[in-house]
Amino acid sequence: IENKVLKGIEINKQQRYAFDEVVLATGHSARDIFYLLHEKGVKIEAKPFALGVRAEHQQEVINYIQYHGETDNPYLPPAAYSLVEQVDGMGVYSFCMCPGGIIAPCATQQEEVVTNGWSPSKRNNPYANSGIVVSVEPKDLPNYTPDDPFVSLNFQKEVERACWIAGGKTQQVPAQRMTDFVNGRISNDFPKTSYQPGIVSADLNKVLPKLIANRLRKAFVLFNKKMPGYLSKDAVLHAPESRTSSPVSIPRNAETLEHIEVRGLYPCGEGAGYAGGIMSAAIDGINCVDAIAKKYQVV
Ligand SMILES: Cc1cc2nc3c(=O)[nH]c(=O)nc-3n(C[C@H](O)[C@H](O)[C@H](O)COP(=O)(O)OP(=O)(O)OC[C@H]3O[C@@H](n4cnc5c(N)ncnc54)[C@H](O)[C@@H]3O)c2cc1C
């Protein structure tokens, strides 16, 4: 990009290809791309996002709660759940709940830990995990200034690094039994977890920023009213769940889908702030291609 005109793409500072239209869909963890755009004077903005922990129960506990004790019915699949509460002015909600699932290490850089979850197609793991996250606006964050596009990203990075340190500077993550977290006690031992690199006992109230930890504590108590048994000593919190969505957005024209200042650049998918999940990212890709076809009157 030169003087807000897109010239094409360059690969590893070696090959250059001239293009008039480029779809930029590098995902929400390509921080180097956000820094590159900012360096080149391409407008990007801080975005609201959500951050918290991955909670893991035994799947049979979730089945028991959701099926009201009817756990031996062979026709019922491993149960899912969806929870949401407003706590002290912010939303706290379950995200990407994985029945019969596994918590996976998902860091993308050195000196950070990140968790996420997935389920095998049979959903037959003995665990049920879910992100439990607090919705944050850039203006809620410490160090907020209106013009800083990196305030959310820096917050995300700080939490991921703090968890890496608390976890012993490996891919182990800091963890706490849910009841211990709510009562501010360190956990002395843990049930088995699906998180393969392992967990280290820590008080997540001290590892996570107060604006997150305080709301999570209250949310677990409220969630337990909706799903009695959810707040359990056998549920383990793994920190952090921090990649729910992009902390940065790349603004685009609502009609042409081009960047608001750079013609020919199509910010696309989750990293640009226009999708959350596989389907919406795929659809946004189709929308961008359609927008280009429309420009050339192919359709
Ligand atoms: C463990 C896990 C489980 C998930 N489970 C689900 C689920 O069950 N359902 C669901 O809807 N969503 C799920 N998601 C989220 C889903 O994967 C994302 O929402 C979706 O992939 C976003 O699509 P995207 O195309 O915007 O970005 P991505 O899929 O992140 O694609 C971005 C691509 O750009 C590439 N890239 C980055 N930088 C560069 C560069 N400089 N040059 C060239 N290429 C680059 C990356 O390598 C990547 O291939 C899960 C995510 C994880 C990590």
Residues 198 and 291 grouped into a single domain: no
Distance 24 CA to ligand 1 centre (A): 13
Residues 70 and 104 grouped into a single domain: yes
Nearest CA to ligand 1 atom 27: 27
Confidence band, pLDDT 50/70/90 cuts, at residue 114: very high
Residue 17 has pLDDT above 80, yes or no: yes
Confidence band, pLDDT 50/70/90 cuts, at residue 222: very high
52 close to 212: Cβ distance less than 8 angstroms: yes
Residues 6+ apart with CB under 8 A from 75: none
Give the residues across from 181 on adjacent strands: none
Distance 282 CA to ligand 1 centre (A): 10
Within-domain flag for 3: no
Within-domain flag for 1: no
Residues 6+ apart with CB under 8 A from 227: 65, 66, 81, 83
| DSSP strand pairing (199-201 vs 90-98) | unpaired
Residues 226 and 254 grouped into a single domain: no
Report the residue among 14, 19, 26 best suited for mutation to probe ligand 1: largest number of ligand atoms under 8 A from its CB.
26
Structure tokens belonging to residue 97? 């709940």
Within-domain flag for 2: no
77 close to 97: Cβ distance less than 8 angstroms: no
Distance 183 CA to ligand 1 centre (A): 36
pLDDT of residue 179: 98
Residue 299 has pLDDT above 80, yes or no: no
pLDDT of residue 126: 97
Average pLDDT of 288-296? Answer: 96
Residue 100 and residue 118: Cα distance in Å, rounded?
A: 9
Q: Which residues line ligand 1 (CB under 6 A)?
A: 25-27, 30, 33, 96, 104, 106, 116, 118, 269-271, 275, 277-279, 281
Q: How many domains does the chain have?
A: 2
Residues 65 and 155 grouped into a single domain: yes
Residues 21 and 78 grouped into a single domain: no
For every residue of 158-210, DSSP letters joined together read HHHHHHHHHTTSSS-EEEEEHHHHHHT---S-----S-TT-EEE--HHHHS-H
Torsion of CA 49, 136, 31, 108, to 10 degrees: -80
Residues 230 and 266 grouped into a single domain: no
Average pLDDT of 131-142? Answer: 96
Torsion of CA 24, 26, 27, 30, to 10 degrees: -130
Residues 78 and 173 grouped into a single domain: yes
Residues 206 and 72 grouped into a single domain: yes
Distance 29 CA to ligand 1 centre (A): 8
Within-domain flag for 120: yes
Average pLDDT of 104-126? Answer: 97
pLDDT of residue 149: 98
Secondary element (H or E) of residue 61: helix 59-66
pLDDT of residue 3: 83
Confidence band, pLDDT 50/70/90 cuts, at residue 2: confident
Report the residue among 270, 274, 286 best suited for mutation to probe ligand 1: largest number of ligand atoms under 8 A from its CB.
270
pLDDT of residue 72: 85
Domain boundary among the residues 205, 223, 241 is at 241
Domain boundary among the residues 218, 241, 264 is at 241
Residues 27 and 113 grouped into a single domain: no
Residues 75 and 220 grouped into a single domain: yes
Residue 7 has pLDDT above 90, yes or no: no
Confidence band, pLDDT 50/70/90 cuts, at residue 48: very high
Residues 174 and 237 grouped into a single domain: yes
Confidence band, pLDDT 50/70/90 cuts, at residue 4: confident
pLDDT of residue 71: 85
pLDDT of residue 8: 92
Residue 269 and residue 286: Cα distance in Å, rounded?
A: 10
Secondary element (H or E) of residue 241: strand 236-241
Task: Please provide residue 281's backbone torsions phi and psi, each rounded to the nearest 5 degrees.
Answer: -70, -40
Distance 241 CA to ligand 1 centre (A): 15
Asked whether the CA dihedral 72, 76, 79, 84 is positive or negative, the reply is: negative
Within-domain flag for 276: yes
103 close to 195: Cβ distance less than 8 angstroms: yes
pLDDT of residue 256: 97
Within-domain flag for 257: yes
Within-domain flag for 280: yes
Domain of 210 in residue numbering reads as: 49-241
Residues 169 and 257 grouped into a single domain: no
Q: Of the given ranges (5-9, 39-43, 56-60), which has the lowest mean pLDDT?
A: 5-9
Average pLDDT of 112-133? Answer: 97
pLDDT of residue 209: 98
Cα-based distances in Å from 16 to 8, 175, 198: 7, 46, 43
153 close to 180: Cβ distance less than 8 angstroms: no
Within-domain flag for 25: yes
Q: Of the given ranges (11-20, 49-58, 184-193), which has the lowest mean pLDDT?
A: 11-20
Residue 39 has pLDDT above 80, yes or no: yes
252 close to 260: Cβ distance less than 8 angstroms: yes
Average pLDDT of 230-250? Answer: 97
Residue 45 and residue 290: Cα distance in Å, rounded?
A: 25
Distance 182 CA to ligand 1 centre (A): 33
pLDDT of residue 219: 98
pLDDT tens, 67-85? 999 888 889 999 999 999 9
Domain boundary among the residues 206, 222, 241 is at 241
Average pLDDT of 132-140? Answer: 97
Per-chain mean pLDDT for the chain = 96
pLDDT of residue 70: 87
Atom of ligand 1 nearest to the CA of 28: 30
